[in-house]
Structures are given as C-alpha cells and as structure tokens.
Amino acid sequence: MAATFSLRIVSPEGNVLKENVEFVVLPGGLGELGILPNHAPLIAGLDVGVIRYTLNGKTNQAAIAGGFVEVVDNAAVVLADSAELAEQIDVKRAVEAKERALKRLGSRTNEIDLQRAEYALRRAAARLNAAGDKK
C-alpha cells in the first residue's frame, strides 16, 4: 500500500472532503502545486481551478474558486472560497454559467463588471473541467 496523508477540503458551506490520499495537485497562484506524503510545511494561496487527488490508485477531482492550503504534519488542509467534488457538479448549470459569462464579456458595455465576468467564466470552466465536460 502506498504512503498516504490526510487531505481536507473545507468551504464556507462546510467540509467537502476528508480522505487519506496518496498525492494531490492544487491550482496555485503561480502554477500547479504537487503534494506527496511527508511534504515540508507550506502555506500557499490557491487560484480558481481543479484539485486532482489520488485515492486508492484512482484519480479524483474537485473544482475550487481560490483559497489557501496549509500543509503540516502529514496533512493538507484546503480552505476554499467554494469547492465541489466532480460527481456533485451540475454540468448543465455550469454550462449555463459559462454561456452567461461569455455573453457578458462579449457585450463589453460600461454596465458590465469585466473582472466579475472573467471570474465567473474561470469558475464555470473549472467546474466543467473537474466534471470532465470540455464544452
């Protein structure tokens, strides 16, 4: 059996995941961060994106909308602004959110908050990528 460490993903809605995993890849602010068992202590900011983690040899995914990770004592805790496991993502809703964001970005009027529309697009894309839908 491969060595493991504790991975917790927490959002304002509560605990999203608590498992012993073999490996995790996180969307860091400057690129992906890989965490293995017995990783050195670390605190890092996270970007909108997909968390990939290996559990019993199988890769699973979750979408997050930014946050922080703390790695210490063979445990990684992700404090996410929002988080959803791949199997819990409503793909239809994510596609609709992506289309709304693209429409807002396409109109480029003074009433449109471009940063908010870009953030919405990135979140929708992350949710679709985590769910395995590349639309």
The predicted-structure confidence for 76-131, as pLDDT tens digits, reads as follows 999 999 999 999 999 999 999 999 999 888 877 777 777 888 999 999 999 999 99
Predicted TM-score (pTM) of the model is: 0.89
Contact, 104 vs 124, CB < 8 A? Answer: no
* CATH for 121: 1.20.5.440
Contact, 122 vs 130, CB < 8 A? Answer: no
How far apart, in whole angstroms, are the C-alpha atoms of residue 33 and residue 15?
21
* CATH for 46: 2.60.15.10
CA angle 22, 17, 116 (to 5 degrees): 110
Say whether both 20 and 79 belong to one domain: yes
Say whether both 43 and 70 belong to one domain: yes
Counting the structural domains of the chain, the total is 2
Which domain range does residue 25 map to?
5-86
Residue 135, classified by CB atoms within 10 Å of its CB into exposed (0-12), middle (13-18) or buried (19+), is exposed
Say whether both 94 and 49 belong to one domain: no
